Every structure is written in C-alpha cells, then in structure tokens.
C-alpha cells in the first residue's frame, strides 16, 4: 500500500510524469536534424536539465521547502545510485504479466519474456521499449505518482531485496503498486531506472556540469551524488577549495595505457619510477585517531570487513602496530591483495580468492600494498610531487611481511628498462607494471597525469591464443538488436572412446573483437542452424554451468573462433569451474574443422603451466611493430594489423606439465595395484610428477581428470578445480601427506578424518562410526604421532579464531592464565611454575667451525621447562626474559651478552641448573646464584 506519511518535501509536489516528460524531450533531440538546432546535441540536453532544476527550485521556493536535488539526481543517474533492486528484464516481465493480467501464453507475454528475439517492433532488443509498445493500450494515461512516492517504493524494493527470501513479500507489494499506478510511458522510464540504463545519450559528466560547474570535481573526490547535491545546493556559490577529508572516500587516480617504447618520449627524457602493478582490489585506508575506515575504488565502505579498530576485522589488528604514533589522521592509497603465508607470496585474481573474505581460507591473509598517500595529519598531500609523497609513506608506517608493504619504486631512464621490468613481471606471473613521473601530483578520478600502466595483455603476440568452438548465442540490444551479438564458446571434453558422442563444455561468453560486418556475415551463415535453448530439454552433448544461452547450435554446424584473454578466473557460471578474464575474439577460423577446437585437458595444462596467466612470452624492444590494445575488450578489428610471415606455431605443453607415461615406468611393487589416482597439485609440478612416478612404480593407474573409477583425488590445497570436484560429490579428496605416509610405511594406510580435504557421503558415514568430531579413534590407542597430528590439524580451534592466534595473542593469554592460577591455586601451581618466563635455549653445541649439533641435555631441560608452564621462543627478541645456557658449552656466551647489552629491556642469562633446581624445590629459586 502507498505510504501516506511521506514527509512534506518538494518531491511530494513534483510528479514523476513531469520527470518522464524531461527524459522524452532529451531523447527527441537525437531525432532533430542538425539544421533545426541552435546548438549541439549535448548542450541542448544540458539546457533541458537546467530548466528542470530551475523548475524544481521554484517549486521548493513556492512551498518554502528545502530544494535539495538529490531525489531527482539519483533517478537521473541510476548507474551511480547505490540502491540494488535485484530485478532484471525477465523478472520484470513476469511482474508485468501478473500485475496487468496478461495471459502467460499470449503473444504479448512471449514478446516480453523473449524481448531480444527479432520482431517487427521498432525497439527490438530494448526491454523497456518493448514493454511500452505492449502496455500503451493497457495502461491509463492519467495515472502518475509523485517523485517522493517513486523513491520511497524503490527504497523499499532495495531494502527488501537485501533481506533475500524474507523481504520478497515487500518487493512484490512495492513493484506491483508502481506497475498499477503509472502510465505506459512512465513504466518505460521506471524500468530503465531499475535496470540502471536510461539510454538518453548524455553522460554523467554533462548532467553534473548542468547542475553546478564544480559538481564533477566534488563527485570525483566524494564518489557520492548525495554529497554533491548537499554541498553544491546553492548554484551561486563555488566550491573553490576542495579538500581531501578523512572518513570521506574520494575517487582514486588512474593510470593511462602506454606503449613500452614510448615512455621516454612521454616523460621528456626525465627519470621515472617503475612499480609493480599489484593484482588485487584498489582500496583507501583512512585512519582517524585509533579508528580505521576502508573504501573501495567506487567508494563502498568495507570497514566492517577489514576492521574498525585493533579488536576487529581481518587486517587492522595486524597492521595497527606498523603505523607511526605521530600519524593521528591518515589516508593511504593502495591495493588490497591476498597473501599466502605458507608460500610467502601475493596471489592474483586468477586464484579462487576473494580478498574481502581472505580470512576464510587456510593460510591466506589480507595484505595492504601501499603506493600513495593523500593526507598526513592536517596536511593534504595531493598537490605535492610523488617523490615527496613517497617519503611521507616511509615516515608514517613500517612494513610487516604479508600484512602491509610498500610499493618499491625502481628508478629508470630508458625504454629498455621498462621492457626488462615488464618481462620480469611476466616471469613472475604478475599483472604488469606502472610507470610514474616523480613530479606528478595526485589527481583523483583522472586517468594519466604522469601515471602509465604497461601490461603484457595490451601487446599483441605475448598472450596464448585459444581455439574455441561456438556452443550458443545471445540476442543483442541497441545497435545489435535482432542479431546474435554474443557467443557462448567452449572446449571439447576428453573421452576415451572414439565412437562415443563428442561432448563440449562451456568456458566463457564473448561479445567483442569483431566488426559489425563480420557479425552480420556470420549471423547470415548460421541463421538456419540456431535452435532455441530449453532447460528441460537441454542437448546432451553440452555441459553447461549456471550460464545458459538463448540459442544453441549443433557442433558440426558451428565455427571455431580464436580467442585471447588476460588470465583464468574462478567462476561457477561455466562447467570447468573457471572462465577467461577479459576475453576477446581475435578472428574467426573457417579453416578449422569443428572437432579441432581446444580440448579441456589442453586448457587445464596451459592454465597449470602459467599459474592461471595466459602470457608466457617476452617482449623485445627491437620488435615493437605490433599494435597495443587500448581497450579492455580488445582493439577494433578494423585497426588490427595483419600478421606477416609464417603462421604462429600451435601452443604445446612442455613434458614436465604432462602426466607421466606409465609405459616408461619400471614396476617396483603392487602396493597400489588396481587403484586409479588423480593427482592434482597445481603449484608444485615437480612434486606432482614425483608422486605420479611413485604411484606408477607401485602398480597404480593415473588419470589427469577424475573418472567414475577413480579411487581418490590427491591434492595439497583446495583450488577452484578441486572445488568443482567437491561440488560433484562423487570423490574423496585426500591430502598429499596421506600418500607420503603410505610410501613411508610401505602399506596402504587407512584414511583418517585428518587425511581428508573432502569426503564423499559414504566415507563420512564410515568416519562417524570410527572417530569422534576431533578425529580421535574409538577403537585404536592413540600414539604420540597421532596426538601430534590431531593437534596440528587445528580441529580443536574454531576457524574464526585461527587468524588471531599469533604470538601477541598467546603471550596475552599466558598472562591471563598466570592471574587465574595465582588467584585460585596460590600454593599449588607446580605446572605453572614458569608461566611468566619466556625462554630462549642456546641448544646448539659447536663441535667445530663447520659442524653444530643439538645439546641433548639442554633439549631435555627445555622440555621440562615447557612442561612446567614455560614458553620457549625460537630466537632472541624483545619478549625474551631468560636465556638458558649449559655450563658445559659456553662458546656463545659472550655473543649472547653482547646482544643483551644492546637491548633496552635486558634478559637474564642463567644456567640450566636454575630450571632443574626450581622444579625440584617446586618454587622459583633466586636467579643471582645461577647467572652466567
């Protein structure tokens, strides 16, 4: 029902019909001949917006109301409005059919549901236009709502949509109220607002300029339409001095694409910086006293994720100590990356990791890579040169490995140094490099200004080309209305028998890289071959993920296309569990037969070889004739240069990346006889090859893709490929440690819960009968090794606490334990005797210069100290309270004392006898008589 208690604002006095009339007048300008116009199209459209703003302000003045233009601006710029409705064309079509009582099998209903299909309607491919054509004789023209009512119901839809199923009833109520109380022309514009595409031929820059001459600058700083409208509400006042404000996000400065051989020319021969282009997500960190805020490049607030203070979030507790106490207020610009603490490296977007959820993954943590600073205390630094800003970064924070680090500025003068840095980035599987002018100032939201990004995927010939088959098609809209404008492409699935029906799996959707002429040509060639895709009767030869095409085609009638992309990303939309990032069509391949497309196994090998990247060749400065791609979707084909010379050789996979040949392995036993293994280790190919060799020698069979006969899948971590196997639910996924254990003991060890990455239902049922929730057997006596294994598995610690259990946490916990023992067991705390002692044991006996061995006696004392509550550190640091030395070996005593003299907080150097005597006496003995 309509809300009768809406606040009396100017929006309650302005109808949605008048706003729609403005939009209609704007699109009519495109149909007006040039000679009939006094000015250009954009200027005339801006004048119409200015007249509506004036009308809004006059209405506000007449009713003595606040004239804030935000209620209109969020409808005029729906793409910049932060409301998420969860409504797309198909769902809106169903609402229209239900609300207006259109028969579900009628021609009008089918036109709404299949609006992209070719029809005689002028607006084919445009859902809103199709809806208007169908509804114009079904809706009353005298219906309308005011602007406040429109925004109120859109707010209700957005809020209810965020609640999921619980809010669906309110979504239904609000959308039906709008559909039943607006005319056909108003519904057309409402639909475009919800879909966030008005199609009025005027960009946000022109609309903001029409509102206020400073509006674009303010929006670049704040990323908020609401702040633009509130700060610049008075058209007579200029926002002369824009300031960066802590707690208010501003749009980041961007890099301009550049050729490696043009850098010297662009920078006038001056010295420049080369930095790594981090493959993460752009974020700003704001610090206000002891409070933190984190904003994405689009101004979204992720403070709750990364932590408002030292006690919350996946990042703040770990970097708080790295920030200087002098930096009370701070804004840092950088890249939020995922860091693998075991392998000690930054991960890329190609890995199945969401940096905003990094703490959910084992050994993966959030790392903030800082490369610029905007504010230090009360000083705004955006107008300072980069070389000065870099010094401020070093002044305000220090590095913590895997948590916060600087971007290293490599000083350079030549194009060759740029090429060398790019080739090094290719070898390291990095996204690319960024070249910066040391004299450049920080310009929010602007591209260029002294920043240039150089990536291997911009350069023709550096990326691997993939020959993929067209499996499906999608109807286009706008200029491509009535055509099959996008294609679903995929791979040939490997099969054992030649007589079986060939199967294909989807990989990605492409819609760029070809000319309009090429599109028309292949639409004509394939016109009679397309078949409508029905979910209930999907073709058996197609293996699809969540992404379904509008049409499908028989493989024998299809075509091969040569596709280029940046890297491989995880995605459940496609069957392999991954897809291509920024795919673009290089060319159609009529010279290839339909069955000559790339196989799934070839694609997996290529992906594994390059760690997800599709670039593996170096750039040579002497060979820079190829054009750079200056569009993210690829270059215009009309401008693409033809390659000269011999055809590029087909990409092959080196032998180290293929499965081993069982025929070349000499059998050494039958431990794994009759069992088929799939060993999937993507990040350590040498270990994969070694394990395969051992399995083959002991009679086991090997496959590169699991089959129905596979005994188990061996893996070292849960990659996106493993997740796709887990989703199927037919396989046991076992850790590599289990296979190592079998090889060590020379027998097929029974699986235990701690051996598993994933267990299929049958295996889980077996575990439930034999083991408790901690992995402890009901029937077998626990051994020392088993106990260690259980504790090391971490099953006793909840997942959400694992990231917090660092050294600082454990030391604080020991203090609380000591307080508890002193309070409740003051006279009987034998096993908490050394609770407040932090030991370093000098356990190495130096036999000679080249040889050192463990001092077994001192090692035993160490165990006794730990048994009685002592905490042992592996090195001498600021926390050490006692350094324990064996009197029989004083070779390092002077060095230890020298270290102690340099420390602000001294530790005691005592003999091991102090620990033994204290245990014997059940109290801490006086240390002075044991000091060395």
Give the count of beta carbons closer than 10 Å to the beta carbon of residue 11.
25
* Separation between Cα atoms, residue 491 and residue 636, nearest integer Å: 26
Q: Exposure pattern of 778-787 as b/e (b: 16+ CB <10 Å)?
A: eeeeeeeebe
The answer to whether the beta carbons of residues 332 and 406 sit under 8 Å apart is no
Mean pLDDT along residues 199-212: 90
* Separation between Cα atoms, residue 851 and residue 463, nearest integer Å: 50
pLDDT in tens, 249-281: 888 888 888 888 889 888 988 999 999 888 888
Residue with tokens 């969020």: 74
Which pLDDT band holds residue 892 (cuts at 50, 70, 90)? confident
pLDDT of residue 715: 92
* Separation between Cα atoms, residue 239 and residue 689, nearest integer Å: 65
373 token code pair: 């600073």
pLDDT in tens, 539-556: 988 999 889 999 999 999
Residue 711 backbone phi and psi in degrees, to 5: -65, -50
The answer to whether the beta carbons of residues 9 and 65 sit under 8 Å apart is yes
Alpha-carbon dihedral of residues 340, 345, 346, 351, nearest 10 degrees?
-60
* Separation between Cα atoms, residue 879 and residue 320, nearest integer Å: 19
* Separation between Cα atoms, residue 321 and residue 310, nearest integer Å: 9
pLDDT above 60 (res 483): yes
Alpha helices (runs of H) in 297-396, residue ranges in sequence order: 303-306, 316-319, 386-396
Alpha helices (runs of H) in 83-196, residue ranges in sequence order: 89-99, 107-113, 127-135, 147-162, 168-180, 184-195
Give the pairing of strands 542-543 and 531-532.
unpaired
Which pLDDT band holds residue 106 (cuts at 50, 70, 90)? confident
Non-local (6+) Cβ contacts of 345 within 8 A are 339
pTM above 0.85, yes or no: no
Coil, strand, or helix at residue 599? strand
* Separation between Cα atoms, residue 688 and residue 202, nearest integer Å: 56
Domains and CATH numbers, the chain: 10-211 (1.10.3260.10), 254-454 (3.30.470.30), 485-639 (2.40.50.140), 659-770 (3.40.50.10190), 807-930 (3.40.50.10190)
Which pLDDT band holds residue 57 (cuts at 50, 70, 90)? very high
The answer to whether the beta carbons of residues 553 and 472 sit under 8 Å apart is yes
Mean pLDDT along residues 703-713: 87
* Separation between Cα atoms, residue 145 and residue 521, nearest integer Å: 47
pLDDT of residue 319: 93
Give the count of beta carbons closer than 10 Å to the beta carbon of residue 570.
21
397 token code pair: 């924070």
* Nearest alpha-carbon partner for 168 in 96, 112, 95, 114: 95
836 token code pair: 């407040």
221 token code pair: 């700083």
Coil, strand, or helix at residue 196? coil
Helical pair 168-180 and 147-162, crossing angle rounded to 10 deg: 160
The answer to whether the beta carbons of residues 668 and 698 sit under 8 Å apart is yes
Q: Exposure pattern of 851-880 as b/e (b: 16+ CB <10 Å)?
A: eeeebeebeebbeebeebbbbbbeeeeeeb
Mean pLDDT along residues 649-675: 64
* Separation between Cα atoms, residue 653 and residue 665, nearest integer Å: 21
Least confident window among 87-91, 299-303, 459-463, 637-641: 637-641
The answer to whether the beta carbons of residues 179 and 96 sit under 8 Å apart is yes
Non-local (6+) Cβ contacts of 556 within 8 A are 594
pLDDT in tens, 624-654: 644 444 444 344 443 343 333 344 444 444 4
Q: What is the mean pLDDT of the chain?
A: 82
Mean pLDDT along residues 477-491: 84
Least confident window among 214-218, 239-243, 454-458, 607-611: 239-243
pLDDT above 80 (res 306): yes
Helical pair 127-135 and 184-195, crossing angle rounded to 10 deg: 160
The answer to whether the beta carbons of residues 696 and 662 sit under 8 Å apart is yes
pLDDT in tens, 175-192: 889 988 999 999 999 999
pLDDT of residue 400: 93
Q: Which of 16-20, 351-355, 362-366 has the highest mean pLDDT?
A: 16-20
Least confident window among 160-169, 230-239, 558-567: 230-239
The answer to whether the beta carbons of residues 330 and 324 sit under 8 Å apart is no
Q: CA 591, 597, 601: angle at the middle one, nearest 5?
A: 155
**Length of the chain as a residue count:** 932
Radius of gyration over every alpha carbon of the chain, rounded to an integer in angstroms: 34
pLDDT above 50 (res 464): yes
Q: Please give the positions annotated as active site.
A: 277
Instruction: Return the percentage of the chain with pLDDT > 90, whole number.
Output: 27
């Amino acid at each position: 029902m309509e809300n009768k208690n809406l606040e009396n604002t100017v929006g309650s006095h302005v109808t949605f019909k008048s706003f729609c009339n403005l939009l209609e007048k704007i699109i009519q300008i495109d149909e007006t001949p040039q000679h009939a116009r006094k000015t250009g199209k954009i200027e005339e459209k801006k004048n119409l917006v200015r007249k509506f703003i004036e009308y809004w302000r006059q209405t506000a003045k007449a009713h003595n109301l606040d004239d804030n233009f935000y209620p209109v601006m969020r409808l005029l710029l729906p793409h910049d409005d932060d409301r998420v409705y969860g409504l797309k064309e198909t769902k809106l079509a169903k609402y229209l059919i239900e609300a207006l009582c259109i028969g579900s099998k009628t021609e009008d209903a089918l036109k709404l549901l299949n609006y992209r299909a070719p029809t005689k309607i002028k607006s084919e491919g445009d859902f809103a236009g199709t809806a208007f054509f169908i509804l114009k004789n079904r809706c009353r023209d005298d219906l309308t709502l005011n602007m406040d009512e429109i925004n109120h119901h859109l707010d209700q839809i957005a809020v209810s949509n965020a609640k999921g199923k619980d809010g669906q009833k309110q979504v239904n109520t609000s959308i039906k109220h709008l559909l039943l109380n607006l005319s056909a022309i108003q519904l057309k514009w409402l639909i475009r607002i919800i879909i966030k595409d008005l199609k009025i031929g005027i960009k946000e820059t022109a609309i903001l300029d029409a509102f206020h001459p400073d509006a674009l600058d303010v929006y670049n700083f704040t990323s908020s339409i609401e702040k633009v409208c509130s700060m610049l509400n008075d058209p007579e006042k200029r926002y002369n001095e824009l300031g960066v404000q802590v707690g208010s996000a501003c749009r980041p400065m961007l890099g301009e694409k550049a050729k490696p051989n043009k850098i010297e020319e662009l920078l006038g021969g001056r010295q420049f910086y080369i930095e790594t282009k981090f493959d993460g997500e752009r974020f700003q960190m704001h610090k206000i006293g002891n409070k933190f805020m984190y904003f994405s490049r689009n101004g979204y607030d992720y403070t709750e994720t990364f932590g408002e203070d030292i006690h919350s979030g996946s990042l703040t507790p770990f970097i708080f100590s790295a920030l200087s106490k002098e930096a009370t207020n701070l804004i840092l610009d950088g890249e939020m990356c995922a860091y693998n603490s075991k392998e000690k490296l930054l991960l890329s977007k190609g890995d199945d990791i969401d940096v905003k959820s990094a703490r959910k993954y084992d050994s993966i943590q959030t790392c903030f890579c800082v490369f610029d600073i905007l504010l230090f205390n009360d000083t705004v630094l955006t107008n300072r040169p980069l070389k000065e800003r870099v010094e401020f970064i070093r002044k305000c924070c220090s590095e913590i490995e895997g948590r916060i680090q600087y971007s290293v500025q490599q000083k350079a003068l030549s194009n060759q140094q740029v090429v060398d840095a790019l080739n090094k980035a290719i070898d390291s599987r990095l996204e690319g490099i960024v070249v910066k002018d040391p004299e450049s100032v920080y310009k929010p939201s602007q591209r260029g200004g002294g920043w240039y990004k150089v990536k291997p995927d911009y350069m023709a010939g550096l990326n691997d080309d993939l020959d993929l088959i067209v499996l499906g098609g999608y109807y286009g809209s706008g200029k491509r209305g009535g055509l099959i404008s996008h294609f679903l492409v995929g791979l040939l699935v490997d099969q054992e028998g030649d007589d079986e029906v060939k199967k294909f799996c989807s990989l990605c959707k492409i819609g760029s890289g070809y000319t309009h002429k090429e599109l028309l040509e292949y639409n004509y060639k394939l016109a009679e071959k397309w078949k409508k895709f029905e979910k209930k009767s999907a073709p058996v030869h197609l293996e699809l993920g969540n992404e379904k095409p509008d049409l499908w085609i028989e493989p024998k009638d299809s075509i091969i296309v040569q596709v280029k992309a940046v890297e491989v990303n995880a995605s459940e939309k496609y069957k392999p569990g991954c897809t291509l990032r920024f795919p673009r069509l290089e060319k159609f391949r009529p010279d290839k037969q339909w069955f000559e497309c790339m196989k799934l196994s070839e694609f997996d090998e290529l992906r594994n070889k390059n760690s997800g990247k599709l670039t593996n060749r170096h750039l040579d400065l002497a060979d820079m004739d190829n054009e750079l791609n200056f569009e993210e979707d690829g270059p215009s084909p009309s401008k693409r240069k033809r390659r000269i010379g011999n055809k590029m050789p087909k990409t092959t996979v080196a032998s180290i990346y293929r499965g081993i040949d069982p025929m070349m392995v000499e059998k050494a036993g039958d431990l794994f006889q009759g069992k088929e293994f799939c060993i999937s280790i993507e990040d350590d190919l040498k270990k994969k090859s070694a394990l395969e060799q051992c399995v083959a020698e002991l009679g086991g069979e090997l496959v590169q893709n699991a089959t129905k006969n596979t005994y188990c899948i061996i893996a070292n971590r849960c990659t996106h490929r493993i997740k796709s196997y887990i989703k199927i639910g037919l396989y046991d996924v076992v850790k590599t440690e289990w296979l190592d254990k079998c090889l060590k003991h020379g027998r097929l060890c029974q699986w235990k819960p701690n051996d598993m990455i994933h267990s299929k239902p049958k295996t889980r049922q077996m575990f439930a009968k034999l083991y408790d929730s901690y992995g402890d057997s009901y029937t077998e006596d626990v051994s020392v090794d088993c106990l260690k294994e259980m504790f090391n598995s971490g099953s006793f610690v909840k997942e959400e606490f694992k990231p917090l259990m660092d050294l600082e946490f454990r030391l604080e916990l020991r203090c609380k334990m000591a307080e508890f023992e002193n309070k409740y067991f003051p006279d009987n705390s034998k096993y908490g005797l050394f609770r407040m002692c932090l030991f370093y044991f000098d356990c190495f006996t130096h036999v000679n210069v080249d040889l050192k061995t463990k001092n077994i006696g001192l090692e035993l004392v160490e165990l006794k100290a730990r048994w009685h509550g002592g905490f042992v550190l592996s090195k001498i640091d600021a926390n050490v309270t006692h350094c324990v030395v064996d009197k029989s070996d004083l070779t390092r005593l002077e060095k230890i004392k020298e270290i102690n003299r340099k420390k602000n907080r001294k530790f005691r150097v005592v003999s091991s006898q102090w620990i033994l005597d204290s245990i014997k006496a059940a109290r801490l003995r006086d240390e002075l008589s044991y000091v060395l």
